[in-house]
Structure 1
Amino acid sequence: MSKAIIGTESLQTMFKRAHEVARKIDGGEPLPEADYHLNFESATRLFSELTPRRMELLEELKRSGPRSIYALAKGLHRNYSNVHSDVRILVDHGLLEKDEKGRVFMPWDEIQINVSFAKAA
């Protein structure tokens, strides 16, 4: 099962996680099957990128399967240019892809969103 995990993570934590993966690679240790991780520095930033309209778009594609941006906009009762802009952002974040026919689809079986509010140091 492929999973995209979206969350909040400090740069320090991200570097620690990357360092641990590099250590395992250097040591010849096998790595577990990786999920796709997309992290933002804050919940505010995460939700400014994953707006309710973009979440609705992801849900629609998960339900319907690959669609053209035109068909997606029509199904969502939204303006084509706004849907096109949202699709471009979601593709840039790795949450959507395009197939050989130019249709957009969600390549993940599941998207999980984790938001935590850490206590200030």
Structure 2
Amino acid sequence: MKAIIDVSPKGGLLNSLLKTARQVDSGKAARGNYHLSFESSKLLLSELSTARIALLEDLRKVGEQSIYALAKLVGRNYSNVHSDINKLIELGLVLRTEDTKKVFVPFDSVEIRLTLSEASH
């Protein structure tokens, strides 16, 4: 399973959410890729900063870690890593184990699709 992150107009995002909700209601919850859409490239880049993307990449490579161990591994301040991990959890890109409270990336790969539209003159 992979995570696909992209920019989608507001209407497209709402339609996608409604489709998923109908599948869940009917008991046919879609299994497969995780989709995360943002309304604009500006919002995507503010939520997924270069530091968060690097953290996501490092965590995916090393596997399940405590936040403390992860901060030490990447050479960053614990509170900054903790804050970034919480944002990545909020976005659904990182999960926390219930028993050990370690964090991990549940995806085989993460794709970020950023398409810039043509400028209108």
- Residue among 91, 94, 97 paired with 2:92: 94
Residue identity opposite 1:49 in structure 2: E
TM-score (norm 1): 0.83
C-alpha separation in 1, matches of 2:42 and 2:117:
14
C-alpha separation in 2, matches of 1:76 and 1:18:
35
**Runs of 4+ that moved beyond 4 A:** 18-23
Which residue does 2:2 correspond to in 1? 3
**CA contact 2:8–2:37 (8 Å) conserved in 1:** yes
CA RMSD of aligned residues (A): 2.2
**CA contact 2:20–2:30 (8 Å) conserved in 1:** no
Secondary structure, in 3 states, of the residue corresponding to 1:4? strand
Q: Evaluate the alpha carbon distance shift between residue 102 and residue 22 of structure 1 in structure 2; reply closer, same or farther with a 3 A threshold.
A: closer
C-alpha separation in 2, matches of 1:49 and 1:22:
24
Structure 1 segments unaligned to the other structure (5+ residues):
none
Aligned residues: 116
Q: Evaluate the alpha carbon distance shift between residue 59 and residue 22 of structure 1 in structure 2; reply closer, same or farther with a 3 A threshold.
A: closer
Q: Evaluate the alpha carbon distance shift between residue 18 and residue 103 of structure 1 in structure 2; reply closer, same or farther with a 3 A threshold.
A: closer
- Residue among 29, 46, 49 paired with 2:47: 49
TM-score (norm 2): 0.83
Q: 1:117: how far off? A: 2.5
Q: 1:42: how far off? A: 0.6
C-alpha separation in 2, matches of 1:94 and 1:112:
14
Secondary structure, in 3 states, of the residue corresponding to 1:101? coil
Secondary structure, in 3 states, of the residue corresponding to 1:38? strand
Residue identity opposite 1:113 in structure 2: I
C-alpha separation in 1, matches of 2:114 and 2:94:
21
C-alpha separation in 2, matches of 1:19 and 1:91:
22
